[in-house]
């Protein structure tokens, strides 16, 4: 028994000594430090090379490592070790491991006498980390390393050099390039969640110049082929001259050029030109686009801004499909037929796709090109398989050729400029036509403000929407891309009286509240249900105040309360791009929408609450057809079935579903109708949804025949037509309109001709109608003045004898002059004021007869009064006494 106890004691002593030696190993013995997370780092650092460092130098190294890795979970674990191996001033296995990690992260090769270079670079990166902690975390991330490792070989080596010895600015540029290509909504230098971001997608003339600049650079280099230089400085000067437009690119390429000519004669050869060509392929700033495709897209899409990336992508693919010139048997649109590539252009495109190794990842490229070549040589329709192959080819072409070239160019983030103003002018267009076949909706993106007067044909715009508001993480409304947080709504409305301008023409004004996918993906998911509900509660309060606050508090006094007091808006439109599809988020948005609608209904004024959605998101999550109809009608699933019987297919609900159509619109508009038909709604409910869905299109000003077809289709199948963006500065509309949009050449004229009810015969309002309606506030003021004056004169005449006698006829004339104009003004308002038009509709003959009777009665009465003889007292002769 005693022997067992003695043996057990010795075992405890041996185990204790072993543990002590293990923990002391970081101080004095080079024991192997085994970590489960260390397996993917190469163990190339030689500890013996670091023995020259004294205690203070090692401690500084450990402090620099802490500055770089202090956010790393493994570092946090190691720093808590009881022996403090990361702050003891000794190069033990733990410290050596983190030096190895640093060398791996910044691609420092442990070859030769590398210790000084490693330590110097560590000091620089520690300083960089203190200045730019977020960018440092990205440089250390596995995603960044994978992206860098999978770049084209030359670009990969250039970026490795930046990580090894690049300046702070070069590191920032590298991180910026990575985030711009891999984070869809990355904003450089923007870490404040209170700033709401908004993007549109557009290629400008400058973008197309950049896409074609690589071809120009290669042509300039080829002119220098076989030219010899005495030294590297002269060669460097020649190459920098070719790349003078892109100095940053040359600085990134210079280390690689120096390596290339390390042991070679200073001659520009074909191999060197190919070397530079491959290097530029890996640079997103120098992406080149096939000349044939670039020419097509520049002609069709230049300077056209799309509110969503999918809309631009589909538009570009639609243009390419049209240009291939296949499967056109049922196509009669002359403009679309004019886009077809010539045989020479198609041959050049085919040659580039087959010979350019950049495109060799395109699946079945030879099969598809052979098919398209054959389809171009025959006329007639394509079968289903052929059509699918053509669509697959265009999709692959866009994904492998077009999209990589434009990815760094077409996403635009317009900064909100508080000093920019805009002024809308109707130019005598009159009021909104009262016989339009539905709602015509126009969007005004804030970046269109150019400090100039803009002509707007309000006669064809039922509602206009200012596109630019958003909200922060607390739910407070702000302006998108307002980086300096200078937006003040009251000052903004005072500088830009667009609400009054639209209301003058009886157009309603909505505010679009935008939030992009980045917010829902990155921020929304980190919040709990109560925080999300609080955001919507605050947003609801702000929207209510936004819409119901009066524009002019003194307006009611000046109009004696006869005309309604104008508020800051007539409705709100939600553009919640990429809204989450989980049940909790959908339920929160449903409740927010329903409660806001109820609050606005109690306030009166017919406020609208609209929903904006891309076609690809429709009928999913919150945007399911049944859910949208419940929001629009206010009828819940558990309500009595009789609730639906109160609805009428002709009901014009106070909510519109604005669907951003993808191209080609000739197909997608029919697909939208078909999806609603097959969406599980029947009878009145299906018709009600169709009558309150408004397709929104982007018209590029080219294909007028297609626009006419779209407008007629929208008139027959949906509740209106929407335009992104709304037509501005169009030519004046002629008094008489021809039958075809291709001859009219204005969106407004095309809507007047083809989007009115049949009884209007496709013509605009009369000049009298336009003048009275546009100036109806002045007519109301004149009517009130004339009515008050007539009343005073009539009362004075009845109550005073001083107006009898020789001034009586003059007085009657004054009364006549006031009453008759008052009646005429009242009649004009009754006929042409939108507020009274419903009262006058169908009763015009009766109104004319009554007005004529009143005028005749007044004339007859005045005539009788003038002819009536009043008795006079006889004159008495004086009696002389």
- Identify which has the larger pLDDT, 387 or 881: 387
Token pair listed for 329: 């048997």
Task: Note whether 533 and 588 are within 8 A (CB).
Answer: yes
495 and 457 in one domain?
yes
**Residue 813: per-residue pLDDT:** 65
pLDDT tens track for 809-856: 666 666 666 777 777 777 777 777 777 766 656 555 555 656 666 666
Within a domain: residue 4? no
**Residue 423: per-residue pLDDT:** 94
**Residue 20: per-residue pLDDT:** 43
Report the Cα 91 to chain-centroid distance in Å: 54
Q: What is the DSSP letter of 542?
A: H
Average pLDDT over residues 525-536: 92
832 and 685 in one domain?
no
Average pLDDT over residues 713-732: 93
Q: Of 36-50, 325-339, 419-433, which gets the smallest average pLDDT?
A: 36-50
Res. 15 pLDDT band, cuts 50 70 90: very low
- Identify which has the larger pLDDT, 259 or 286: 259
**Residue 609: per-residue pLDDT:** 96
Last residue of one domain, picked from the residues 731, 765, 799 = 765
Task: Note whether 695 and 722 are within 8 A (CB).
Answer: yes
Within a domain: residue 632? yes
798 and 729 in one domain?
no
Alpha-carbon span 480 to 241, nearest angstrom: 41
3-state helix, strand, coil in the chain (%, to 5): 55, 10, 35
Task: Note whether 571 and 624 are within 8 A (CB).
Answer: no
674 and 572 in one domain?
yes
Within a domain: residue 160? no
680 to each of 634, 649, 670, 686, 837, how far by Cα in Å? 19, 17, 17, 8, 39
Q: Of 173-187, 380-394, 856-870, which gets the smallest average pLDDT?
A: 856-870
Last residue of one domain, picked from the residues 737, 765, 793 = 765
Task: Evaluate if residue 168 carries a pLDDT over 90.
Answer: no
Task: Evaluate if residue 344 carries a pLDDT over 90.
Answer: yes
**Residue 32: per-residue pLDDT:** 38
43 to each of 85, 142, 192, 588, how far by Cα in Å? 19, 18, 40, 53
Residue closest to 569 by CA, chosen among 543, 540, 595, 596: 543
Q: Report helix, strand or coil for 616.
A: helix
Alpha-carbon span 314 to 398, nearest angstrom: 10
683 and 619 in one domain?
yes
Task: Evaluate if residue 326 carries a pLDDT over 60.
Answer: yes
237 to each of 40, 216, 280, 309, 783, how far by Cα in Å? 43, 18, 18, 41, 81
Alpha-carbon span 409 to 201, nearest angstrom: 9
Within a domain: residue 194? no
**Residue 83: per-residue pLDDT:** 82
Task: Evaluate if residue 419 carries a pLDDT over 80.
Answer: yes
Q: Of 162-176, 251-265, 380-394, 701-715, which gets the smallest average pLDDT?
A: 251-265
pLDDT tens track for 455-512: 999 999 999 999 999 999 999 999 999 988 889 999 999 999 999 999 989 999 999 9
Res. 19 pLDDT band, cuts 50 70 90: very low
Within a domain: residue 687? yes
- H/E segment holding residue 570: none
Task: Evaluate if residue 10 carries a pLDDT over 90.
Answer: no
482 and 338 in one domain?
no
Residues whose CB falls within 8 Å of the CB of residue 206, separated by 6 or more in sequence, listed in order: none
pLDDT tens track for 569-585: 999 999 999 999 999 99
Last residue of one domain, picked from the residues 114, 131, 148 = 131
CB atoms within 10 A of CB 26: 23
Place of tokens 């543990």: 19
279 and 297 in one domain?
no
298 to each of 209, 346, 727, 760, how far by Cα in Å? 10, 17, 21, 40
pLDDT tens track for 554-568: 555 555 555 567 899
Alpha-carbon span 512 to 221, nearest angstrom: 50
Q: Specify the pTM.
A: 0.76
Task: Note whether 847 and 827 are within 8 A (CB).
Answer: yes
Q: Report helix, strand or coil for 660.
A: strand
Within a domain: residue 545? yes
82 and 120 in one domain?
yes
**Average model confidence (pLDDT) across the chain:** 81
Helix intervals (H) in 106-152: 115-131, 133-139, 142-149
Give percent of the chain above pLDDT 90.
Answer: 36
For the residues of 690-732, what is the DSSP string, one character each? HTTEEEEE---SS-HHHHHHHHHHHHHHSSEEEESSPP-SPPP
325 and 231 in one domain?
no
**Domain CATH number, residue 513:** 3.20.20.80
Structural domain including 807 reads 775-867
Within a domain: residue 751? yes
Alpha-carbon span 799 to 794, nearest angstrom: 9
**Residue 585: per-residue pLDDT:** 95
**Residue 399: per-residue pLDDT:** 87
Average pLDDT over residues 293-319: 94
**Residue 33: per-residue pLDDT:** 39
Alpha-carbon span 839 to 833, nearest angstrom: 10
Name the domain count of the chain: 5
Classify residue 754 by burial, with Cβ atoms within 10 Å: 0-12, 13-18, 19+: buried
430 and 381 in one domain?
no
Task: Evaluate if residue 875 carries a pLDDT over 50.
Answer: yes
**Residue 24: per-residue pLDDT:** 39
For the residues of 341-398, what is the DSSP string, one character each? PPHHHHHHHHHHHHH-GGGTTSTTHHHHHHHHHHHHTS-S---HHHHHHHHHHHHHHI
Q: Report helix, strand or coil for 575.
A: strand
605 and 581 in one domain?
yes
Q: What is the DSSP letter of 661?
A: P
536 and 393 in one domain?
no
Q: Report helix, strand or coil for 265.
A: coil
**Residue 84: per-residue pLDDT:** 84
Within a domain: residue 853? yes
Report the Cα 389 to chain-centroid distance in Å: 32
């Amino acid at each position: 028994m005693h022997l067992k106890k003695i043996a057990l004691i010795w075992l405890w002593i041996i185990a204790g000594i072993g543990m002590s030696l293990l923990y002391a190993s970081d101080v004095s013995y080079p024991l192997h430090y085994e970590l489960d997370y260390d397996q993917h780092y190469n163990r190339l650092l030689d500890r013996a090379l670091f023995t020259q460092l004294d205690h203070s130098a090692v401690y500084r190294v450990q402090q620099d490592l802490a500055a770089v890795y202090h956010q790393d979970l493994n570092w946090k674990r190691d720093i808590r070790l009881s022996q403090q191996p990361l702050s003891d001033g000794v190069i033990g296995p733990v410290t050596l491991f983190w030096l190895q990690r640093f060398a791996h992260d910044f691609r420092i090769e442990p070859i030769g006498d590398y210790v000084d270079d490693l330590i110097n670079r560590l000091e620089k990166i520690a300083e960089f980390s203190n200045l730019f902690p977020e960018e440092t975390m990205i440089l250390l991330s596995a995603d960044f390393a994978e992206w860098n490792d999978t770049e084209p070989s030359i670009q990969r080596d250039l970026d490795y050099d930046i990580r090894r010895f690049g300046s702070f600015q070069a590191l920032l540029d590298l991180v910026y390039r990575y985030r711009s290509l891999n984070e869809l909504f990355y904003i450089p230098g923007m870490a404040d969640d209170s700033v709401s971001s908004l993007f549109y997608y557009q290629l400008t003339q400058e973008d197309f110049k950049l896409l074609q600049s690589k071809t120009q650079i290669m042509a300039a280099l080829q002119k220098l082929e076989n030219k010899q230089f005495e030294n590297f400085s002269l060669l460097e000067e020649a190459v920098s001259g070719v790349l003078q437009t892109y100095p940053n690119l040359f600085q990134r390429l210079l280390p690689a050029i120096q390596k290339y000519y390390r042991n070679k004669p200073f001659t520009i050869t074909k191999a060197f030109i190919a070397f530079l060509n491959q290097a530029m392929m890996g640079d997103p700033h120098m992406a080149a686009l096939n000349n044939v495709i670039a020419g097509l897209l520049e002609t069709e899409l230049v300077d056209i801004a799309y509110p969503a990336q999918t809309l631009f992508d589909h538009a570009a693919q639609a243009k390419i499909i049209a240009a291939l010139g296949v499967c056109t048997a049922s196509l009669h649109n002359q403009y679309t037929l004019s886009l077809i590539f010539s045989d020479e252009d198609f041959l050049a495109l085919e040659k580039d796709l087959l010979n350019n190794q950049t495109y060799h990842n395109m699946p079945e490229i030879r099969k598809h090109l052979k098919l398209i070549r054959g389809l171009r040589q025959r006329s007639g329709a394509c079968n289903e398989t052929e059509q699918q192959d053509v669509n697959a080819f265009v999709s692959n072409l866009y994904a492998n050729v077009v999209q990589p070239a434009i990815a760094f160019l077409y996403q635009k983030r317009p900064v909100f400029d508080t000093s920019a103003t805009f002024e809308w002018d109707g130019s005598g267009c009159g009021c909104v036509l009262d016989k339009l076949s539905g709602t015509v909706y126009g969007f005004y993106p804030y970046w269109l403000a150019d400090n100039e007067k803009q002509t707007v044909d309000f006669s064809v715009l039922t509602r206009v929407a200012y596109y630019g508001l958003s909200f922060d993480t607390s739910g407070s409304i702000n302006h998108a891309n307002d980086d300096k947080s200078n937006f003040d709504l009251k000052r903004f409305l005072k500088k830009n009286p667009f609400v009054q301008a639209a209301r003058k023409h009886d157009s309603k004004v909505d505010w679009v509240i935008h939030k992009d996918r980045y917010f829902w993906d990155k921020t929304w998911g980190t919040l709990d249900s109560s925080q999300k509900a609080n955001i919507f509660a605050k947003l609801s309060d702000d929207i209510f105040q936004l819409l119901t606050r009066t524009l002019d508090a003194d307006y009611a006094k000046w109009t004696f309360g006869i005309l309604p007091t104008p508020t800051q808006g007539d409705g709100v439109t939600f553009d919640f791009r990429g809204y989450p599809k989980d049940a909790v988020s959908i339920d929160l948005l449903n409740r927010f929408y329903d409660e806001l609608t109820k609050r606005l209904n109690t306030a009166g004024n017919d406020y609208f609450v609209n929903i904006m959605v891309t076609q690809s998101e429709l009928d999913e999550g919150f945007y399911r057809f049944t859910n949208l109809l419940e929001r629009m009608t206010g009828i819940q699933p558990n309500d009595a079935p009789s609730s639906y019987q109160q609805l009428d297919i002709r009901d014009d609900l106070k909510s519109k579903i604005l669907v951003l159509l993808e191209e080609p619109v000739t197909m997608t508009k029919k697909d939208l109708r078909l999806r609603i038909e097959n969406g599980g709604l029947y009878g009145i409910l299906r018709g009600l949804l169709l009558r309150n869905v408004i397709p929104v299109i982007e018209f590029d000003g080219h294909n007028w025949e297609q626009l006419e077809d779209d407008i007629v289709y929208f008139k027959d199948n949906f509740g209106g037509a929407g335009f992104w963006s709304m037509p501005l500065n169009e030519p004046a509309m002629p008094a008489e309109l021809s039958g075809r949009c291709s001859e009219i050449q204005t969106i407004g004229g095309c809507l007047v001709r083809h989007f009115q009810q049949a009884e209007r015969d496709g013509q605009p309002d009369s000049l009298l109608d336009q003048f009275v309606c546009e100036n109806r506030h002045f007519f109301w003021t004149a009517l009130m003045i004339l009515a008050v004056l007539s009343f005073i004169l009539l009362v004075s005449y009845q109550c005073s004898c001083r107006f009898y006698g020789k001034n009586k006829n003059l007085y009657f004339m004054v009364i006549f002059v006031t009453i008759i104009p008052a009646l005429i003004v009242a009649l004009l308002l009754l006929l042409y004021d939108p507020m009274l038009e419903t009262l006058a509709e169908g009763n015009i003959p009766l109104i004319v007869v009554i007005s004529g009777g009143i005028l005749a009665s007044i004339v007859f009465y005045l005539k009788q009064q003038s002819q009536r003889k009043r008795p006079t007292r006889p004159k008495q002769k004086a009696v002389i006494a």
